Amino acid sequence: SPWKAVLLLLSPPAFSTSGARCAKDRRLRQKRAISERQLTRYFVDQRKVRVVGGQGGDGGHSFHSEPRKVFGGPDGGNGGDGGHVIFKADQQMKSLSSVFRFYQGFHGERGGSKNCYGANGAHMYVKVPVGTLVKEDGEVVADLTQHGEEYIAAHGGAGGRGNRFFLSNENRAPKFFTPGEPGQERVLHLELKTTAHAGLVGFPNAGKSSLLRAISRAKPAVAAYPFTTLNPHVGIVHYQDYEQVAVADIPGLIQGAHQNRGLGMAFLKHIERCRFLLYVLDLSVPQPWSQLQDLKYELEAYEKGLSERPCVVVGNKVDLAQSRINLALLREQVAERVIAVSALTGDNLEELLLHLRELYDTFVKTEQSQGQSPVKW
């Protein structure tokens, strides 16, 4: 009717039609600028972890009572066991960067009345990469080599006994119970047996980070000062047959690294876990072959036979005029194969990628011939 239409027009609307009352601030907020170093997630191949098992639940303390049965006797149940902390190998994990430094299992619940046992605490599962070594006081206690393999790092504490447990002919109304036991506490060291398939080894400012940027999607920091890279970065090189080769950018070494100069021991450990090496030399400096001699000396002084692993010499910065002159001299002084590239301009990267694939195929065949399963990304 027309009167209903008039009433609808005069009544205030249930919501704001103009949008002035409930409209939100729709101004575009500028995102806070984040540096490239903050965006980069470093590759971690060793981690110190403190693990504590869950504490067991206390035993129950109660007496049964109901109509016409006042003295029903003790009925306190036992407490639940604490949960374990378990390391589980997962093939999707490639780094220990997501592993925290402290884990604790869940606690067991207290025992209840009517002989009800407390619930056990849930286990804490920690995913680690396949090929993780678990060490305690320098000794290997576990080697997780298969997907889904588990290792109990810390056992949970046993649950306490309720007063029902202590019922006997001599004591028909026990009033005491036992508390839950604390969980096991350990300090373990996790290490990856394989950081990557290939490792970029060289002195500071040789162009290792720039080379990793050129052949993979990794984004390590690049600057004109030495020791830009303080943590290893791993980039994945993809091939058309879906094979993936992991290449690690190892922080730069200095002379005397085997004597732990400049964090040398920490950097040499990363090289130890690579299957084959790419020596990156700066062709623009005088006598670049001396860099190769110094690098091999440091590797051999750290571990005998480390410098004899399959390798290739990569001469970087070939786009400079002085580098072309030093390239011919380097090939005369070095017995290994020398591949001249430019990480800045991308010159001759195809030859490097093809030879990298040859080293990877040789590594896979060697592992399979020895009855071992090669680590694949």
Residues 220 and 161 in one domain: no
**The domain boundary residue, chosen from 149, 167, 193:** 193
Query: Mean pLDDT highest for which of 49-53, 64-68, 74-78, 117-121?
Result: 49-53
What type of residue sits at position 112? G
Element (H, E) at 201: strand 196-201
pLDDT of residue 40: 46
- The Cα-based distances of 76 to 115, 158, 171 in angstroms read 5, 16, 15
Q: Which residue has the higher pLDDT, 246 or 15?
A: 246
Is-contact 232 250, C-beta < 8 A? yes
CATH number at residue 187: 2.70.210.12
Measure the CA–CA gap between 254 and 261, rounded to whole angstroms: 7
* Residue 232 predicted with pLDDT over 60: yes
Q: 232-248: buried (b, 16+ CB within 10 Å) or exposed (e) per residue?
A: bbbbbbeeeeeeebbbb
Residues 175 and 208 in one domain: no
| 22 belongs to a structural domain | no
Residue percentage of the chain with pLDDT more than 70:
81
pLDDT band at residue 7, thresholds of 50, 70 and 90? very low
Residues 208 and 355 in one domain: yes
| 2 belongs to a structural domain | no
What type of residue sits at position 217? R
Residues 160 and 309 in one domain: no
Domain of residue 312: give its range. 198-370
Chain mean pLDDT for the chain: 80
pLDDT of residue 31: 53
Is-contact 340 318, C-beta < 8 A? yes
pLDDT band at residue 227, thresholds of 50, 70 and 90? low
* Residue 44 predicted with pLDDT over 90: no
* Other beta carbons within 10 Å of 317: 25
Name the one residue in this structure whose structure tokens are 């091939």. Answer: 239
Quote the distance between the C-alpha of residue 240 and its chain's center.
Answer: 27
Is-contact 66 72, C-beta < 8 A? yes
Is 0.75 topped by the overall pTM? no
Name the one residue in this structure whose structure tokens are 């790092």. Answer: 153
Which tokens in the block code for residue 151?
Answer: 């290792």
Comparing 63-72, 176-185, 270-279, which segment has the lowest mean pLDDT?
Answer: 63-72
Burial of 28 (0-12, 13-18, 19+ CB in 10 A): exposed
* Other beta carbons within 10 Å of 98: 14
| 212 belongs to a structural domain | yes
| 20 belongs to a structural domain | no
**φ and ψ of 347, to 5 deg:** -70, 130
Measure the CA–CA gap between 173 and 158, rounded to whole angstroms: 24
Measure the CA–CA gap between 315 and 371, rounded to whole angstroms: 35
CATH number at residue 202: 3.40.50.300
